[in-house]
Chain A
Amino acid sequence: MTSKRKELQKLVEKLSKKKDIHFNRQQIEKLIYKFSDLHGGRTLMDKNHVARMERGMFRDILYNYFSMTDDVLLDRVFRAFDKDSDNYINVEEWINGMSVFLRGLKEERIKFCFCAYDLNGDGYISREEMFQLLKTSLSRTSTDEDQDESIKELVEITLKKMDDDHDGRVSFEDYKKGIEEDPLMMEFLGPCLPERKRCDFFLEEIEQLGKY
């Protein structure tokens, strides 16, 4: 137990020194506590006995705390957290991800969102990817064909707005420029960042952890 505690202390030390983490030590500790507590005290371990979080659990968090419901986007946010793409989120990924997710600077958030939208990770958001992400965005059209048509049109409208260099796809630069023009376009393919008040709420709850 003591070694584990020491390890934890070390980790906290290490993370709190990182500049791109927008949490203080205590918050990091609490977040780690939350991380380990998620599975009801029974932390999931990989073969190296490192604690990790599986997809379903992460989605539950997003759902419960941040009211995010879109399946596709939940997965995409998971992907954005899961830097090493091993389908699990480890402690470091958790803290890094949460730092951006809750307190990210504009630049970081842009990167985060772009990463989430870039389904195949090729650095561009293509028409197809947009189509995938916008597929569920319209509700009221009658037939599937109409629906597809409408969504295609919506994709074109989006592309017209975001594709600055007119190459038929949205590069990271295009995306950045688009946001500069219109900050509302940050989450243009669906919400993948929490609302401000939900962040505050989550952080508040984290603060309460372990006090009992």
Chain B
Amino acid sequence: MGQAFTRAAQWTSAKDGTGGKLEFTKINEELLNCIVQFIDGYSSKFSSESKLVFKKPLKWQSSLTPNQFSAAGCSERGDDLVSDEMADKENPLFSLMKINASSYQCCVMSLEWAEKVSQSAGDRKLHEVRACLEANRDPGANILGDRFATVEGEDNSIYRFTEEITKEIEQLSKQSSEGEGNEDRTAEIEEKKAILKLKLQLSKLDQDLMNTSISLISKEVRLNPSTVDGEVKNLRELSGPSEESCVLKSIGFYGPVFVFENGCRAPAHRQLHGDIAYVEVQPFDTGVLYIMANTSGYYTFKGPDGLGEMQYEREGEPCRDLVLLLKQKSPKFAEMIDNQDFSLKVREENEKLSDHRHEDTMDNDEQVTQRTDIQRRKKEMEEQDKEKQTKQKTQRKKRLEPSLKWKALGMEEYKVDERQGDSNRRLKKKKTTPRMKSKTPIDAEDSFSESSTESEEEEEAVERRSETNADLPSEYWQIQKLVKYLKGGNQTATIIALCAMRDFNLAQETCQLAIRDVGGLEVLINLLDTEDIKCKIGSLKILKEISRNTQIRRAIADLGGLQTMVKILRDPDKDLKCLAAETIANVAKFRRARRTVRQHGGIKKLVGLLDCVLLTSQMTPEIEKDIEVARCGALALWSCSKSKKNKEAMRKAGAIPLLAKLLKSVHEDMLIPVVGTLQECASEPSYRLAIRTEGMIEDLVKNIKSQTDELQMHCASAVFKCAEEKETRDLVRQYGGLDPLVSLLQKTENKELLAAATGAIWKCAISPENVQRFQELKAIEMLVSLLNDQPEEVLVNVVGALGELAKDPPNRLAIRKSGGIPPLVNLLTGTNQALLVNVTKAVGQCAEEQDNMGIIEKLDGVRLLWSLLKNQNTEVQASAAWAICPCIEKAKDAGEMVRSFVGGLELIVSLLKSHDKEVLASVCAAIANIAKDEENLAVITDHGVVPMLAKLTNTTDDKLRRTLAEAIARCCNWGNNRTAFGREKAVGPLVKYLKSQDENVHRSTARALFQLSKNPENCITMHEAGVVQPLMAMVGSSDEDLQESAAGCISNIRRLALANEKARYS
């Protein structure tokens, strides 16, 4: 409430020593009312803040006496009244001390008590508040301490305070994380928070007060000379001798014609009182009126007395405009102005003033001065307006200018800023751009817009550049000098400079960026376009090195280096080809570069490089060179093959047979890029097929046995991807690839290799023959040992492999014996979705074994599985539901266990609303198992399982049909569910299932139909749907189960028919 009181409230000048008093004006009254409203009921809204103890008490001379005071919690001490609650040792929160016989001094130390005082004061509230505020000119400072005292200009105290609090909170959290809990500090922070809250509320109050006072002030009239001139002039135009057409006989300024520079006509000594001019009005009905135009409005006054002396005494209330005043004074004027719509005209005139002015023929001196005056003012105003507009325009322009980047930086923040104070904006701006410190703001903006279209990596680039600019290393200057020679020298100087440049440590980022920053990249890339082979080689040798840096890569691509290098791939010089390919391999590590290579025909040329004579008995230098070229080509293709379109382009360019040929190489240098490319491409089915048919599996398996981790890793990774296909899996086994894969499990320190190897094992284990071999190799034990502290990439594959292996019953036992179940169950709590899918599968497989199930149950694994049904990933949901099935089947008291999961049954029934077929199928399977328990069946029936299942019956998906029919069959065993299924029209669609090709669907459908046929209505529906014929066929099935249900169903239908006949004929 500081600002409102120093500015808006009207104080009497400080005559006595105690400071001013609040004037008894309307504004002040409004302000006081606002404050009273604020205080009343404060404690009920903000109880903690209201208890906050003031830094200094608010003291004032009160008119209250102790006996008027009604609030509880006080005790009398002699003449004084003192609260029981104490602020500290000496001071009570509230006291009312007797000063002299009639008056008391009131002393308050919390808002709670202030409120109580206000309540006790009753109708003297305003008086008390007034007294309080007069005694305490800045109550905010008293309440919150001097740091929040009202100051002129910017007030940053809140921001500083907020920062302080956040800092302290941070510190505290740091400390508490180190283990030393500090309760005192927490309390302190809590208090500070309360202070902040209170301060914000006070500021809000302050603002509200300001707003009220402004709206009040704006109601007050402020006249100025030009408006007075205008009004008088307008009325003069409507004045004249004719009583019928004119409103006044005459109107004019009274007194000397002289106009002061400020536009006033009143004499200087009267201007001190706010007088502007005096108007003499002669209405038709009354005598002459003298009107005083004061800044606060129009008044009538006595005017000159007989001696010509002015009597300045005002009469009556001020009026906002002259017309209004005249209306009051002269009925005739009021009548005329209303009748003839003059008032409107006056307004119009007023608006047209400027237009009329030119045609105005009056040559009255006064008029002229007046006119010019107005003209001048208007002009000035217009000019100002224009200026403002242009300013705004430029400002707006500036706002719009910063490119998209601003969005990334948080336009949101900016918007918030605008609402808050200017100081705050500056503060935040600083925060968002701290890394630009070394640059001027303009530079910073430039670099922003430059890189606006780039991705995050570039942003990093900007950041780092500014860092390196901060302190330039000596290399920078040396490199700059060399670049100068590159630019200005002939071939000889260029080569010397190129060679000298390579003496720098080009692997070092400072040097790499220095070359770029001094414009070296452009020169190096330009050199690639020259005729001189030596220059090209020298340049490429440097580019090859520095392109290991991501920023340089992008810069090379931006400067069109890739296009030139792709061209060089056709050069007859083999060294040059090699270097270009190697550099492309480095640069094409990001998507845009790979696309550029493809679009400029680079893929075809690179594939062309692969074509070399290999495996010749004698190696001539020429052939060695060719092999080197092929190796470099493979390196570049490896980089390029990360893009899907490039893979396609490579295949079309005939890369596969060439890669197959190179795969026969014995050199690891060659094999690594070749296998790397292959494993990258193996994500495409076309490549997988080609890898198998071109006989590459044999070579891949052979190289898994190599000595180099990297090569092994790529080979295993290629097998991982290729082994999706059964034939490939068989080939891996036939070539003896399973043994080396298992032996790779020992390389626990190389996680990438481990991930690739376990992945390959996982996929290979899909084939039962391979599982056999893995069993012999004791893979399970090794895999289980990898279940502990491995990165997720490895775990996903390990668990996937265990899940596949556990499909073979003896392996389930092996997993249990090697202690694999607890870690598996433990992994159910993870968050990695790929991992969760695999873990649920593995646990589900393990649960098929009775003994395993015991362990899983003990570890509460079923509950964990159940909770995974809530996972948002449908794959996880489905595989968790599948895993639940064997758990229920094998658990000892499954019904009780399922019931123990609170809300579990409701959850699983609600999953029937899923849109994912796999989820639906798995959930149906789970429901079929749950429904075995009668009590649970009752519960899920209550949850509406019947209509939900019935709704699903229209599906054509065989997997879902099978589990759905199973679930329906089981759910029939409760209450009138059979009838309900019939009512929900589940029977008709079920009959159609019998036409399916899937034997399993038949079996479960027959079972469901058998159950449903126990209801006569359903029998009729079935019969109408033509169920008998397919069922008859199924009675002849070799599957006993199917036979039985089909026969049962037919017999039910038949019985109904018989009963029917009997009824008819008897």
Chain A residues within CB distance 8 Å of chain B: 133-134, 136-141, 150, 153-154, 157-158, 160-161, 182, 184-185, 187-191, 195-196
User: Which of A138, A184, A191 lies in contact with B488, CB distance below 8 A?
Assistant: A138
Residue in chain B with minimal CB distance to A137: B493
Residues A182 and B502 in contact, CB atoms below 8 Å apart:
yes
Q: List 22 A-B contacts (CB under 8 A).
A: A136-B490, A137-B490, A137-B493, A138-B485, A139-B488, A139-B489, A139-B490, A140-B488, A154-B496, A154-B497, A157-B496, A157-B497, A157-B500, A184-B499, A184-B534, A184-B537, A185-B495, A188-B492, A188-B496, A189-B492, A190-B492, A196-B533
Residues A138 and B498 in contact, CB atoms below 8 Å apart:
no
Return chain A residues, CB-CB under 8 Å to B534: 184, 187
Residues B487 and A134 in contact, CB atoms below 8 Å apart:
no
Residues B503 and A161 in contact, CB atoms below 8 Å apart:
yes
Return chain B residues, CB-CB under 8 Å to A161: 496, 499-500, 503
Residues A188 and B485 in contact, CB atoms below 8 Å apart:
no
Residue in chain B with minimal CB distance to A185: B499
Binary interface encoding of chain B residues 482-522 relative to chain A, with 1 for a CB under 8 A from any of its CBs, else 0? 10110111111101111110110000000000000000000
Chain B residues within CB distance 8 Å of chain A: 481-482, 484-485, 487-493, 495-500, 502-503, 533-534, 537-538
- Minimum CB–CB distance from A119 to chain B (whole Å) comes to 15
- Minimum CB–CB distance from A95 to chain B (whole Å) comes to 26
Return chain A residues, CB-CB under 8 Å to B503: 161
CA separation between A153 and B502, bound complex, in Å? 17
Residue in chain A with minimal CB distance to B491: A191
CA separation between A80 and B1013, bound complex, in Å? 112
Residues A184 and B482 in contact, CB atoms below 8 Å apart:
no
Return chain B residues, CB-CB under 8 Å to A188: 492, 495-496, 499
Residues A138 and B538 in contact, CB atoms below 8 Å apart:
no
- Minimum CB–CB distance from B537 to chain A (whole Å) comes to 6
Residue in chain A with minimal CB distance to B502: A182
Return chain A residues, CB-CB under 8 Å to B537: 184
A-B contact count (CB 8 A): 64
- Minimum CB–CB distance from A43 to chain B (whole Å) comes to 35
Residues B493 and A154 in contact, CB atoms below 8 Å apart:
yes
CA separation between A189 and B496, bound complex, in Å? 8
Return chain B residues, CB-CB under 8 Å to A133: 492
Return chain A residues, CB-CB under 8 Å to B496: 154, 157-158, 161, 185, 188
CA separation between A136 and B491, bound complex, in Å? 11
Residue in chain A with minimal CB distance to B490: A137
Return chain A residues, CB-CB under 8 Å to B485: 138, 150, 154, 157
CA separation between A210 and B487, bound complex, in Å? 46
Residue in chain A with minimal CB distance to B484: A150
CA separation between A69 and B498, bound complex, in Å? 22
Residues B492 and A134 in contact, CB atoms below 8 Å apart:
yes
- Minimum CB–CB distance from B941 to chain A (whole Å) comes to 86
Return chain A residues, CB-CB under 8 Å to B490: 136-139
Return chain A residues, CB-CB under 8 Å to B493: 134, 137-138, 154
Residue in chain B with minimal CB distance to A157: B500
Residue in chain B with minimal CB distance to A160: B500
Sample of 19 further A-B pairs with CB below 8 A, known A138-B490, A184-B534 = A134-B493, A137-B489, A138-B488, A139-B489, A154-B489, A154-B493, A157-B485, A161-B499, A161-B500, A182-B499, A184-B498, A184-B499, A184-B537, A185-B496, A185-B499, A187-B492, A190-B492, A191-B491, A196-B533
Return chain B residues, CB-CB under 8 Å to A136: 490
User: Which of B481, B533, B538 lies in contact with A153, CB distance below 8 A?
Assistant: B481
CA separation between A179 and B485, bound complex, in Å? 21
- Minimum CB–CB distance from A196 to chain B (whole Å) comes to 8
Residues B495 and A187 in contact, CB atoms below 8 Å apart:
yes
- Minimum CB–CB distance from B599 to chain A (whole Å) comes to 30
CA separation between A141 and B487, bound complex, in Å? 11
CA separation between A196 and B496, bound complex, in Å? 21
CA separation between A161 and B533, bound complex, in Å? 21
- Minimum CB–CB distance from B925 to chain A (whole Å) comes to 72
The 10 A-B residue pairs with the shortest CB-CB distance in the complex, in nearest-first order: A140-B488, A137-B493, A190-B492, A137-B492, A137-B490, A157-B500, A182-B499, A158-B496, A138-B489, A184-B538
Residues A157 and B482 in contact, CB atoms below 8 Å apart:
yes
User: Which of B488, B491, B492, B499 lies in contact with A141, CB distance below 8 A?
Assistant: B488
Residues A195 and B533 in contact, CB atoms below 8 Å apart:
yes
Return chain A residues, CB-CB under 8 Å to B499: 161, 182, 184-185, 188
Residue in chain A with minimal CB distance to B495: A184
CA separation between A141 and B489, bound complex, in Å? 10
Return chain B residues, CB-CB under 8 Å to A141: 488
- Minimum CB–CB distance from B511 to chain A (whole Å) comes to 16
Return chain B residues, CB-CB under 8 Å to A154: 485, 489, 493, 496-497
Residues A191 and B481 in contact, CB atoms below 8 Å apart:
no
Residue in chain B with minimal CB distance to A178: B499
CA separation between A137 and B496, bound complex, in Å? 11
CA separation between A184 and B575, bound complex, in Å? 12
CA separation between A61 and B29, bound complex, in Å? 111
Return chain A residues, CB-CB under 8 Å to B533: 195-196
Return chain B residues, CB-CB under 8 Å to A190: 492
CA separation between A196 and B499, bound complex, in Å? 21
- Minimum CB–CB distance from A68 to chain B (whole Å) comes to 11
CA separation between A83 and B596, bound complex, in Å? 54
CA separation between A195 and B487, bound complex, in Å? 23
- Minimum CB–CB distance from A177 to chain B (whole Å) comes to 13
CA separation between A138 and B500, bound complex, in Å? 16
CA separation between A111 and B482, bound complex, in Å? 28
- Minimum CB–CB distance from B49 to chain A (whole Å) comes to 74
- Minimum CB–CB distance from B576 to chain A (whole Å) comes to 12
Return chain A residues, CB-CB under 8 Å to B502: 182
Residue in chain B with minimal CB distance to A141: B488
- Minimum CB–CB distance from B592 to chain A (whole Å) comes to 32
Return chain B residues, CB-CB under 8 Å to A157: 482, 485, 496-497, 500
- Minimum CB–CB distance from B263 to chain A (whole Å) comes to 67
- Minimum CB–CB distance from A136 to chain B (whole Å) comes to 7
CA separation between A94 and B850, bound complex, in Å? 97
CA separation between A139 and B487, bound complex, in Å? 9
Return chain B residues, CB-CB under 8 Å to A137: 489-490, 492-493
